Amino acid sequence: MVYVDINCYGPDGYHAERPGYQQIADCASGCSYVNGKAYGLEEGTAVLPSLPIADMLTSAVGVLVTLLAIRDRTTVGGAYHSHVALVSLDTAQLEPEVGLYPPQIVKQVQDKYQWAPMRPHHMVTDLLDIMIAGWRQNCDVLDRREYYSEFETMFGKSHKILNLPFKFESKEASSRWTHGPVPNGGHPGQLQWLPVS
């Protein structure tokens, strides 16, 4: 068996039993404080990161430790239990070897994308809306068809989602999206087992 636990603070320490989520981790780690400084706000003013970086990094590391555990299980056997913590990954971004962008880089990026001000009262969805508006108006990243998969939903609407970040040489072996999330009961009577070749 392979187990992966994901939580806010990690498996031990005095906050281990506390629940938490991305925004809490962003504040507890100092990432929100760093954002407030980058935006030139008054000392001590914190702003959530404009993208859900803690969630994305935690998911990526969760996948990585799962793959490593599966590899080790097939070569040496055993069961594996891994822990991935949002705050730990947030604080890793603040380490000197990762580094923070200098103020002039922050200004160059802001000048290029012209994002609306991001402030403490903005929630994650507000910040995503601000980011998307800046991208839509000032670059073509949202229009690059090779980055996305598009298909019709079961409700007859077009749905576009981000492609996976890698491809294999064989198109058939490459992972790909054929549909978006399906609501409970969305495929009644249509589920079947596929033979493994």
Taking the C-alpha atoms of residue 21 and residue 52, their distance in angstroms, rounded to an integer, is: 11
Looking at residues 124-132, what average pLDDT do you find? 94
- Name the pLDDT band for 188 (thresholds 50, 70, 90): low
Confidence check: pLDDT of 135 > 80:
yes
Position 167 in a domain: no
Domain-located, residue 122: no
Does position 177 have pLDDT exceeding 70, yes or no?
A: no
Question: 66-108, pLDDT tens digit by residue?
Answer: 999 999 999 999 999 999 999 999 999 999 888 888 889 999 9
Confirm whether 146 is domain-assigned.
no
* pLDDT at 137 (0 to 100): 96
CA 45/CA 39 separation, integer angstroms: 10
Residue 48 structural domain: 2-101
Asked if residue 196 belongs to a domain, the reply is: no
CA atoms within 13 A on the CB side of 85: 18
Within a domain: 53: yes
For residue 152, is it within any domain? Answer: no
**Does 75 reside within a domain?**
yes
For 12-69, write each residue's pLDDT tens digit: 988 999 999 999 999 999 999 999 999 999 999 999 999 999 999 999 999 999 999 9
Distance, in Å, from the CA atom of 36 to the CA atom of 73, rounded to the nearest integer, reads: 44
Residue 163: the pLDDT is: 81
The domain tally of the chain equals: 1
> In the chain, which residue ranges form alpha helices assigned H by DSSP?
22-29, 31-38, 53-76, 86-93, 103-113, 124-138
> How sure is the predictor about 139, in pLDDT bands with cuts at 50, 70 and 90?
very high
**What is the 8-class DSSP label of residue 18?**
S
Q: What is the pLDDT of residues 153-173, one digit of tens each?
A: 777 888 888 887 777 787 777
pLDDT at position 148 over 80: yes
DSSP 15: T
Residue 75 CB partners (closer than 8 Å, separation 6+):
none
Task: Report the run of H or E that residue 119 belongs to, with start and end.
Answer: none
CA–CA separation, 20 and 103 (whole Å): 30
DSSP secondary structure of 138-175: H-SGGG-GGGEEEEE-TTS-EEEEEPPS---SSTTTS-
Does a structural domain hold residue 125?
no
Mean pLDDT (the chain, rounded): 89
Task: Indicate the length of the chain as a whole number.
Answer: 197
Handedness of CA 113, 119, 123, 126 (dihedral sign): negative
Model confidence at 187: pLDDT above 80: no
